[in-house]
Structure 1
Amino acid sequence: MYDFAPTAELEPAERYRQLADAADALTAGEPDAVANMANLAALLWEFVPGLNWAGFYRMVGGELVLGPFIGRPACIRIPLGQGVCGTAASTGETQLVEDVHAFPGHIACDAASQSELVVPVLRDGKVIAVIDLDAPEKARFGAVDAAGIEALAARIAQRI
C-alpha cells in the first residue's frame, strides 16, 4: 500500500517539494507511462488543495489527447494553440491563468473552473504532455504553484 500525503500545514514551496519526492518514489522503476500518469494525477489531487481537476493531456499525433486525471469528464482532444492546454503545448511555456473566462479561446470542459495552471512536460526539448490543474476559485494559482509544478514536470519527464 502506498500512503503518500503531505504533512499538515506546510508552506506551499515545501508542499511542492514533498509532492516531487513522492512522485519520484512512486514512479521509480515503473516503465508504464499511463500507470505513472494515473498515480501522479492522484498525487496532485492529494497535495494541491482547492482543485476541481488534475491530470494530463498527452501529445499524440500533433494534438493533445486526454490522459489520466481526477475530476469531471473532460475534453478528449485539444488542438495545439487552442485553449490554455493547447497554448502551453504549442509554446512550451507554462500558462498561469487567474480567470479562465478572460483567456482568449478558453475551452470550458468544467463550468466550475475559474482558474487554471498548465505546465508543459518536456523531454529532449519537445513537449510530450501537459500537466493541467483547474480550480473553482479565481486566482487560485501563483508563482509558487507554477514553480512547484514545473519542478515536478522536469522530474517525471522521463517516466511518462
Structure 2
Amino acid sequence: MRSLTVIYLAILGIAIGVEIAAGAFVAPVIFFPQKYLGEGVLTHFQSGILMTQVFLKMNLLIGFVALYSIIYEVQVFMMRKNYDFFSFIASILVIILTGLFLFYYTPFIVHAQQLGALETTTEAFATMHKQSEWVMKALMLAQFGLLVRRGLLSQK
C-alpha cells in the first residue's frame, strides 16, 4: 500500500504542476504572441484554439489522476487502513470537478470554437469560460488538499 501512496502523491503533485503551468506559463505566451513574435501573428481566436489543444492533452492527465484518486480512496476505505474522511470527500470533489471540466466545459468550448470566431465572443461563451477557470481553481485546491492530507497521513 505504501508504494500506491507514493504514486498517488506523485501524480497529484504532477497534475497540480501541469495545471499551474498551463494557466500561469503557457496561456500568457499563447494569448500574447505579439510580445514575442510581433503583431499580426495570431488572432485571439487562433490563440484560443492552441490553448484548447493544451487543455485537451492536460485533460488526459487530470482524468487519470481523478480516477486513480477515487480508486485509491475507496480501497483505503474498504481496507479500513489510513481511512480519512477529509481525503475521501476531497477525492469525490476531485472526481466531480474533473468530470465537469472534461465533460461539460471542455466540450462546450470546443464546440463553440468549431462554430467559428464569432461564437467565442458571445456572453454565453465568456460566462462558460470564466466558470471553467473557477472549476479548475477549485480542482487544484481539492487536489492540493489531498496531496497535503495524504502526505501528512503517510508520515504516521
Q: TM-score, normalised by structure 2?
A: 0.30
TM-score, length-scaled by structure 1: 0.29
Quick one: higher RCO (CA 8 Å, sep 6+), 1 or 2? 2
Larger radius of gyration: 2
More strand by share: 1
Greater share of residues in helix: 2
